[in-house]
Amino acid sequence: GENVEQHPSTLSVQEGDSAVIKCTYSDSASNYFPWYKQELGKGPQLIIDIRSNVGEKKDQRIAVTLNKTAKHFSLHITETQPEDSAVYFCAASISNYQLIWGAGTKLIIKP
């Protein structure tokens, strides 16, 4: 079946440094790629997304890049802060009504 692979599973960075999380998808028909952030004990929250007709999107300290040929997309967080510590999930649309999710990356920001 279709799947999304997400790496790394855990990422530890120094406060102020950048963090990059990468995802690879299998369904060439996928056209929507959101990123969600999940804090402890809460449901995931959308932080940024990208459509297949766009190569890059930025929102303040976070950005997402998409390479449709290689079927991979990445989340970039610059100038990391303690409140960025959370689990991040990538996802890809596999139909009009379904997303398939990566396994998650636990981001740890070291003071």
Partner 1 sequence: NAGVTQTPKFRVLKTGQSMTLLCAQDMNHEYMYWYRQDPGMGLRLIHYSVGEGTTAKGEVPDGYNVSRLKKQNFLLGLESAAPSQTSVYFCASSYFPASSPDTQYFGPGTRLTVL
Which positions touch partner 1 (CB under 8 A)?
A: 1, 4, 6, 9, 31-32, 34, 41-46, 49, 51, 89, 91, 93, 95-104
Considering the complex, what minimum distance in angstroms separates the CB of residue 14 from partner 1? 26
d(CA 67, CA 45): 24
Please identify, using beta-carbon distances, which residue of 76 and 101 lies nearer to partner 1. 101
Between strands 62-67 and 56-59, the pairing is antiparallel
Please identify, using beta-carbon distances, which residue of 77 and 100 lies nearer to partner 1. 100
Considering the complex, what minimum distance in angstroms separates the CB of residue 101 from partner 1? 4
Contact assessment for residue 101 and residue 4, using Cβ atoms and an 8 Å cutoff: yes
Considering the complex, what minimum distance in angstroms separates the CB of residue 40 from partner 1? 11
